[in-house]
Structure 1
Amino acid sequence: MNRYAAWLRGIMPSNPNMRNEKLRAVFEGLGFDGVGSLLASGNIVFGSPETDMAAMESRIQAALRAELGIGGGTIIRSRDELRALVDSDPFPGLTHGRGTYLTATFIKSRPESPPPALPEALQSSVRLVGYDRPAATLLAIIDNNVAGTPNHMAWLESVYGKDITTRTWLTVQKVLAKL
Structure 2
Amino acid sequence: MTRYAALLRGIAPSLPNNSNARLRSVFERLGYARVASVLASGNITFESDEADVPALERTIQAALVEDLGIGGGTIVRSLGELRSLLDSDPFPGLTHGRGSYLVVTFLKDGAAPPTELPDDPDPLVRVVGFDKAARAFLAVIDNSEPGQTPDFMRWLDQTYGKDITTRTWLTVQRIVKKLEAERPSSSAGSMSP
TM over 0.5: yes
Write the letter of the residue equivalent to 1:136: R
Can you list the C-alpha shifts for 1:3-30, whole angstroms capped at 9, x where unaligned?
Answer: 0000000100010000000000000000
TM-score by length of 2: 0.87
TM-score by length of 1: 0.93
1:110 touches 1:133 (CA, 8 Å); kept in 2? no
Partner of 2:140: 141
Can you list the C-alpha shifts for 1:99-152, whole angstroms capped at 9, x where unaligned?
Answer: 100000001144344543147xx4210000010001100000000124743443
Secondary structure of the structure 2 residue equivalent to 1:162:
helix
Rounded to whole Å, the distance in 2 between the matches of 1:28 and 1:118 is 43
Report whether the alignment pairs 1:70 with 2:48: no
The runs of 5 or more residues in structure 2 that have no matched partner are 180-193
**Count of residues in Structure 1 that have an aligned counterpart in Structure 2:** 177
Write the letter of the residue equivalent to 2:11: I
Partner of 2:170: 170
Rounded to whole Å, the distance in 1 between the matches of 2:175 and 2:47 is 13
Write the letter of the residue equivalent to 1:130: G
The structure with the largest alpha-carbon Rg is: 2
Write the letter of the residue equivalent to 2:67: E
Aligned-residue identity in percent: 59
Rounded to whole Å, the distance in 2 between the matches of 1:124 and 1:82 is 28
Residues 115/149 of structure 1: CA separation in 2 closer, same or farther (3 Å cut): farther
1:143 touches 1:149 (CA, 8 Å); kept in 2? no
Rounded to whole Å, the distance in 2 between the matches of 1:84 and 1:110 is 20
Rounded to whole Å, the distance in 2 between the matches of 1:29 and 1:165 is 24
Deviation at 1:157, TM superposition (A): 1.1
Report whether the alignment pairs 1:87 with 2:95: no
Q: Spell out the pairing of 1:17-28 with structure 2 (5 A cutoff).
A: 17-28=17-28
Rounded to whole Å, the distance in 1 between the matches of 2:162 and 2:59 is 18
Q: Spell out the pairing of 1:40-59 with structure 2 (5 A cutoff).
A: 40-59=40-59
Rounded to whole Å, the distance in 2 between the matches of 1:141 and 1:98 is 11
Please report the RMSD computed on the Cα atoms of aligned residues, expressed in angstroms: 1.5
1:3 touches 1:47 (CA, 8 Å); kept in 2? yes
Write the letter of the residue equivalent to 1:156: L
Rounded to whole Å, the distance in 2 between the matches of 1:118 and 1:46 is 37
